[in-house]
Every structure is written in C-alpha cells, then in structure tokens.
Structure 1
Amino acid sequence: MKKQYALLTGALCLSLLAGQAAAKVSQQEADALGKDLTPIGAEKAGNKDGSIPAWEPEPQRGALSGEFPNNPKVEAEKPLFTITKANMAQYADKLSEGHKKLLSTYDTYKMIVYPSHRLVDWPKEIKDATVKNATTCEIQGTDVLNNCKMGFPFPVPKTGAEPIWNHKLKWRGEAVTRYNNQMIVQNNGDYQLTKIIEDVQFPYASIKNPQPIISGNGEYLEYLSRVVAPPRLAGTFILVHDKTGTGADGRAAWLYSPGLKRIRRAPTVCCDNPYEGTDGHQFYDQVDMFNGVLERYTWKIVGKKEFYIPYDSNKIAGNKVKYKDLARPKHLNQDLPRYELHRVWVVEANLRAGTSHTFKTRRFYVDEDSWTIAMVDDYDNRDQLYQFQEGHIISAPNLQAATTVPEVIYHFTAGRYFITAAWNEDKPIDATVNFKPDYFTAASVQKMTTK
C-alpha cells in the first residue's frame, strides 16, 4: 500500500487535466485513509530524516469560548536555527518564493525555525464523513460539487481545484463569533487599526445538522461582519451566503453603508475587488487566504513538497502579544512567528483566457494535515511577484480544528503590508453561539442598524 501511495503522489505531479470533470476515487485508493494516510488524507508517517514527525493528533481539550491557542510544551521549545539573508541559499529548496523575496529584500527579515509537530485532529464525525466522501464526492469544472456531505470533500485530490475546496469546506465548528482585526502598516511601522466582529455559520460542515451538497446545491457558509472602529467605518455590515457554483448560483452578498442607511445587494463582494475599508490592501478573494469562486483560473497540482511554513503560532496569536508588538517597518515583527517544516500540497492557478484578475498566477501552499492554506505567491500580469500572503496556522484542540491567526499580505511594490484576522487584545473564537434561523438575512441586518 505504501508503494502504491508513493506512485499515486508522484502521478499527481502530472496534474490530470485540472478544471475538467473529476470522478470520485476508487475504493482501493480510499482504503488508504486511516491506514497509510490519516482519515483526511495526509501521510501518517514522518519523513526519512525525522525532521517531520509522524502524525500524533492531540486529544480534544479546552473550552469552546474564551480559549486562546495554547500548548505549554510546544511553547517552551527552543529554536533549531534561524534563516536569514546570509544563509537562505542553504534552505532555498524549502522556501516559498514569497519568503525568498522577503529574505533577499530586507536585511532585518528572518525566519525562526522550531521542531515540527503534527497535532491537528478533527471530530470523529468529520473524519468518518471524509472517508465516505472519497468515493462519492465529485467535482465538475472548478465550482460545481456533487454528493458531498459534512467532511473534507477530496481527501485524495486529483485536480488542482480539490485541495482549495478542502480548505473552503473544512470543519470550523457549528457556528462562531470572532474578531477579525486589521492593520495597514506603513513603511515606517505606523499602522491604522480596524476592528471587525464576524458571525459565521457553517451549514455544510455541521455535525448537528449537515447540509449536503447535491448537484451544486447546498449552502456551505453564512457570514456577517460588522465594523466597530474606527468611527469613519463603524456601522458597515457585509452579509454573504456562499454556495458551490458561480454567478447567481454561487455567492449572494449584501452591503450596508451607514452613509446610505440601507442594505443593498453587492455583487462586487467578489474576486479582486478591494475589501470594504482596507484601502485596497486586501481583495475579497484573499479573505481566509482564499475564498469565493475558482472559475477565473485553471488549477493544477504541482505536487507535494516539504516547506517551512508558519505553524503552531500560539505566541503570535495569543493575548500576551499586543497589536503594537506585531508591527515593524517593512515586515511583521519576526521575533514572534514560529516556523516549522511540513509537507504541503503545491497548487498553481493560472488566469483563464478571456477573464481578468490582478493576479495572473497564484501559487498556493496547502498544509497536508489541515488542508489549510498557509502561503500564497501572487504574480501580476508581468509575471512579477506582486504580493505574498502568509497565514500563521494554529491548532485549536478545543474545537478540533485548525485556522490561521493572523494573516499577513505583503505588497512588494508599495513596501506596505496588511495584517488581518488578529484578535490579540480582544477575544478568541466563541464556538458556543447559536444564531436564529433568520439571523443571516438582509432584513435582519437592516433591523440591527436601527437599534
């Protein structure tokens, strides 16, 4: 079986007609799940030299609200080494192009590397559903899914779109409230802070009441954000309903502007339109590293490879670090992030002929253990590295999930960068919330604004 899986992984490098209709995998391939593979599709074994350990999932622990990421044993570890401009050539084969650009551009940029851990686990229901999805779930094109229920849809991916859907449909709890605070950091380190509170419900990856995706029908996310500061942006609401598919069959979005005092449909909440209030520093499809439709690109799996990625980032996501501690001129305060060596799926997206986007090519680095996008290299229409997205992965044993806190977008042409999804001085995720059936509706938002 191990030899069979190695052959399969190698074959994926050839990519298999990304973007075309993809069949569910064979029973023989699915049988590797829970054996040589974890139940969600990662390789159970470590690498040959032991620098990546075997999968050792952490048991569920902690409260579902008020719980900042923590693991005292991991946090007490000392670094293995530090990657700098002076020694980056030694590690170049395990560095993203974005990290190479930061290291070569700024003498002050560094990556502090720690021992690797593979602690992420998922609820049993999610793992069981993922195994079933392997032989039932399928994709047509890039955006229409069929016969998928609750779990990761494609634990043995065959096309480039499938790892991205694994990221988009992963378990994050039944519903959550969280702070998504944002900072536009100028060249001198000064920053402007925006405070946002998000309410999110996940109908697809729900254990209590899963909403399957059948022939493209099935809502997988309901989202409502409200800006609470600064005053010039306070009172702005964005409401989103996401389904598989494109156009009217996919995302429905609404925007409430305090200036207009009414909520209206907002088809511009999509793609490379600037996210409201970010002054152009984040596109809508960069939220959560990537979201929304895939249709503007062709997608291919380049392969699976070892990279240094931000991981077990408890320190930078915790409440002992203040917002002012994060910001430094040109780049994040690199004394704070933790980097580990992990296997990632490398997925490349290239702009389709006849479509448009600021990014001609996007290269995604997707963690094998969590299907979380850890990094994205974004290239402009001149094939120059234009932006780099970095998501600092945290394991959440209370929820049995993983996410990125914070996320950073580096703008190489401007020298500025953007921090998002930070909660350090506020509250961590509250996964105990229950929303009324009509909460994620335009009428409900309009009522909130008149209270």
Structure 2
Amino acid sequence: MHISKKWGPVAMLGLAVVTGSALAKTTADQAARLGKDLTPVGAEKAASKDGLVPAWTPGTQHGKLSGEYAKDPAVEAEKPMFTITSANMDKYADYLSEGHKYLLKTFKDYKMNVYPSHRNVAWPDFIYKATAKNATSCTLEGTDDPDNCELGFPYPVPNNGAEVIWNHRLKWRGDNVVRNNDQMIVDANGHYQLAQLVEEVQFLYANKENPVPLKKGKGLFLYYLSKIMSPARSAGTMILVHESAGTGATGRSAWLYAPALKRIRRAPAVCCDNPYEGTDGQQFYDQVDMFNGVLERYSWKLLGKREMIVPYDNYKISRAKYDDLAHQNHLNQDLPRYEYHRVWVVEATLRPGQRHTYAKRVFYVDEDSWDIVMVDCYDAQGALFNFQEGMLTPQSNVLTVFTVPEIIYHFDSGRYFVTALQAQGRPNDYAAKFPQGYFTAQAVQQRATR
C-alpha cells in the first residue's frame, strides 16, 4: 500500500498486531485527553496543520424520529471546490484509497467531486459519559471478546486495529430502528436488478433505556431480523440474528426462514464470506454495514491515522432515485460528495490456516464517527479484488451516523452492488418499539405462518 506523507504521528508508534491475549487498557493520562484535545469519543479536536481538515464543531439534535430523511440544506447548497479525474489524480494520490485510484485509472469518466469539509458529527451526552468510563475499564480479549464495556464507544483511544473495528460495530444508532434496505445489482452496462428488504433491529449494548454490558463470554449486543420483500423468487425469506461478541458457541446465532418450507431453522453459514441471501453473491455476510463479522480469521494491525478524501455528508445521494444512481461501470459520480477528513487505517491480514475470499483488507475509519467509510479488499495473489465505499451521512434526529448507501465494486466481473438504499422506500423509523420475545425463532415462525 502506498504510504502517504500525510500520515499523522500515531503511524510512527509501531502499533501492535492483535494477539490472543488481553491487551493493556488505556492509561488514565490518555483517557484524560477525552473532552480536552480529543473529542469525547477520541477524535482530534483541532484542525489539521494544513487546514484541509477543519476543527470539530459538533452539531445539535433536531428532527423527528420517524418520517424524515436526513438533510442539511446549508451543506447541500455548497458547490464542489474541485474535481478529481484520471487526468489530475496524481496530484491527489496521497489522499486517495487504492480503490478510488483503481476506479480513476480504469474508467476515464469516473470522477470525485470534492466539497468543503465539515466535522459536525455529534453523539448524545450519555454516550460521551459512558465512553469516558469505558476508556479505562474496557479491554479486548484476543480479537472478539470485549470485556467490561457498557453503552459507549469501548476504545476511544485505541491500542490496536481490532479495537478500532469494535468501535464501529458498537456505536450508538438509537435504541431501535426499522429501515427499508433496497439493493441493486448493476451490470457493466448500467442495467440493474432491484431487491427490497425490511430490517428490524433492537440494539442491546448501545441502548439508552436498558443498556446490556459486554463481559467476556456474555456478549449479546443486538437483535436483527430482515425480510426480503422482492424479487418474487426470494420474497418472504427471513434472517434472524442474535449478534454476539465472541466466536463459536458464544458468538453469533442465526436462523433462516424459507417460505417454501414454511419453517425456520438454524443457519450456521451466516458468517464471513458466505453470500448474504438474495444478493447473487455480491455481498458477503461480513460486508453488511461495511464490516460486521467475527475478527478471528485475521490479524489486525493499526497503521495509524491519515488525512484522506472520503465520502462524507452525503445527504443528496441518500435521497437520490435509483435510476439516477445506476451508471455504466460505476455509480453516477455526479451524486457523491467527498471531503478531506482524518481516518484511522487498519490492515487485516488472513491468519495462517484460515480461509476467506479476501486475503487482506485495508479499512479506512472516520475519526469522528468510528464509521468504516472505505475498504480495499485483496485476493490471495495480492491483487485489488473488490472495493467497498460507504456514503457517510449524519442522522441528526438521533445523533448518529450511517453509510447510506454502500457500494461494493467487483473488479473481476465489472458489476457493482449497492445496498442500504432508502429513497424509494421509507425513512428510518427510530421510534419503533418491539415487544418482549419479538426476536425469537418461535415468534418469527408464528408471525410468518399466520
């Protein structure tokens, strides 16, 4: 990987690859920086020395919990400062992911419109308080067992790459949400197949009303249920997940309801590089939400922090019609918005004896939201194989952030996959409530066969 001259000083510390033993907690002196030179969740408050990344100016909570798409009229009214193309990409190479470089080199019409940067991401006060407590109490056993963590970001001053990924996985997203998740498989000519899902999620760890702490061996942190609405051939298929930290018997539990069989059964293959149902192999289970699988198959190395041009404040594209999004070879690049931001860079390398389609992944994680915004995915020969891009969009009604939509470029086939689309469905409903026992296999079976 090209190492940019814009790496921050953290990159020079020789940060460790995660091992199987517990790693040291953040020191009290490090934790004391939260809310001072660091934001309450661990980002640098100050602007970058070159001024490309501004200082943190947190936004405020506003908007309804249901019935509204995220928007920011002032940001949306801005014009691009400049556009990156194949002709001038060398000038910006230090700020680009390998995936973006590949797209710029390969498709002469591919471009990146770069806008003024904003650092308005904010979180509720109870997340700030819980994060401060976690900073000195929460540890990580191996790669998959957070211990003694509650409600907030577990590792605001990360010591290794796995901790950065857990910050992404455990971030506050509201107590509950019902969301439309429309998906497109787009061929090289720009023609697409559309699938529609409804997803219901109850967050247990990052839950304001009743947070469930994470202890080693007791790591249940959310319930997830998806139902495929279309196309007709897979409509009615449901996936139920009890998402837990840990691996094996203490890790993720999943069930699949098949309409043809009219019954729900355990689904041990809801993991890793097994294809998500209904995606025609275009999305692995561990690519949902950019990454959400077990970490044990990889060694995780924190390379440091870097200034980069990343998708950000993508209010417009999150509301775009699907016909306007689909384009030959790549997304319609008139729509995405890119900005300068600082990101954590994490390299995941497949461990000896383990198997996965991706032998290496490089994750780019926004410092303000701990959201994964880009992933370079490499095959066993070391070639760039896929590229994931998440259009980061703040959600001011609950003070959280989502990547809406997310794109997976398949460089071998020329197809690309777009997920987390909502504009032709309904906005996220954060006011949703689920009764006790709603996310059990028995309850799903009963509802499906009524």
Fold-level match, TM-score > 0.5?
A: yes
Q: Which amino acid aligns with 1:370?
A: S
Task: Determine if the alignment matches structure 1 residue 147 to structure 2 residue 142.
Answer: no
1:16-415 alignment, distance < 5 Å:
16-19=16-19, 20-318=21-319, 321-415=320-414
CA deviation string 1:46-94 (max 9, x = no partner): 1112221100011111011112110011011110000000000000000
Report the equivalent of 2:3: none
- Asked if the contact 2:154–2:166 (Cα under 8 Å) also holds between the matched residues in 1, the reply is yes
CA 1:8–1:215: 2 relative to 1, 3 Å: farther
For 2:414, the aligned partner's letter is: G
Q: Which letter maps to 1:317?
A: S
3-state SS, counterpart of residue 180 of structure 1: strand
Q: C-alpha separation between the residues in 2 aligned to 1:393 and 1:76?
A: 17
Deviation per CA, 1:197-234: give whole Å up to 9, x if none. 00001100011100001123131110000011111111
SS state of the match for residue 392, structure 1? strand
| Paired letter, 2:299 | T
SS of 2:137's equivalent?
coil
Secondary structure, aligned partner of 1:103: helix
Q: Tell me which moved more, 47-56 or 297-306.
A: 47-56
How far apart, CA to CA, are the structure 2 residues paired with 1:264 and 1:249? 19
Secondary structure of the residue aligned to 2:242 is strand
Distance across 2 between alignment mates of 1:103 and 1:65: 38
Describe the superposition over 1:345-381 as per-residue Cα deviations: whole angstroms up to 9, x where unpaired. 0000000001100000000000000000000000001
Deviations 1:304-327 (A, max 9, x none): 001111000000002xx2111110
Offset, 1:10: 4.3
TM-score by length of structure 2 reads 0.97
Asked whether the 8 Å contact 2:17–2:302 carries over to 1, the reply is no
Q: Which runs of 4+ in 1 moved over 4 A?
A: none
Find the aligned partners of 1:192 and 1:102 in 2 and give their Cα distance: 22
Letter in 2 for 1:341: Y
Query: Structure 2 CA distance, aligned partners of 1:224 and 1:288?
Result: 14
Deviations 1:164-188 (A, max 9, x none): 0000000000010001110000111
Supply the AA of the counterpart residue of 2:149. Answer: C
Q: Could you tell me which residue of structure 2 aligns to residue 3 of structure 1?
A: none
Structure 2: distance between partners of 1:250 and 1:372? 22
Question: 3-state SS of the aligned residue for 1:282?
Answer: coil
Partners of 2:9 and 2:212 lie apart in 1 by 31
Structure 1, unpaired ranges of 5+: 1-5
Counterparts of 1:130 and 1:390 in 2: how far apart (Å)? 27
Q: Distance in 2 between matches of 1:10 and 1:251?
A: 33
SS of 2:283's equivalent in the other structure is coil
Cα distance per residue 1:332-354 (max 9 Å; x no partner): 00000000010000000000001
CA contact (8 A) 2:17 2:299 kept: no
Residue 420 of structure 1 aligns with an amino acid whose one-letter code is: T
Helix, strand or coil: the match of 2:198? strand
- Per-residue CA distance 1:251-304 (angstroms, 9 max, x = gap): 000001112211000010000001101110000000000002000000000110
Closer, same or farther: CA 329–8 of 1 in aligned 2, 3 Å: closer
Helix, strand or coil at the partner of 2:380: coil
The answer to whether 1:15 aligns with 2:15 is: yes
Please tell me whether the aligned partners of residues 219 and 250 of structure 2 are also in contact (alpha carbons under 8 angstroms): no
The 8 Å contact of residues 145 and 219 in structure 2, kept in 1 or not, is answered as no
Structure 2 letter corresponding to 1:449:
A
Question: CA, structure 1 residues 390+146, in 2 after alignment: closer, same or farther (shift >3 Å)?
Answer: same
For 1:128, what is the secondary structure of its paired residue? helix
Q: Give, in angstroms, the shift of residue 8 of structure 1.
A: 7.2
Identical-residue share of aligned pairs (%):
60
- The 3-state SS of whatever aligns with 2:136 is coil
Q: CA deviation at 1:22?
A: 1.3
Looking at structure 2, the residues matched to 312 and 183 of structure 1 have their Cα atoms a distance apart, in angstroms, of 22
CA distance in 2, matches of 1:258, 1:119: 44
Give, in whole Å, the separation in 1 of the partners of 2:286 and 2:129.
30
**Residue pair 2:254, 2:267 contacting (<8 A) in 1 also:** yes
Residue 243 of structure 1, CA deviation: 1.1
TM-score by length of 1: 0.97
Q: What is the CA–CA distance in structure 1 between the aligned matches of 2:62 and 2:45, rounded to whole Å? A: 22
- Deviation at 1:242? 1.0
Structure 2 residue matching 1:135: 3-state secondary structure = helix
AA paired with 1:130? T
Is this contact kept in 1: 2:46–2:55, CA < 8 A?
yes
Aligned partners of 2:17 and 2:283: how far apart in 1?
A: 31
The Cα shift of 1:426 comes to 1.0
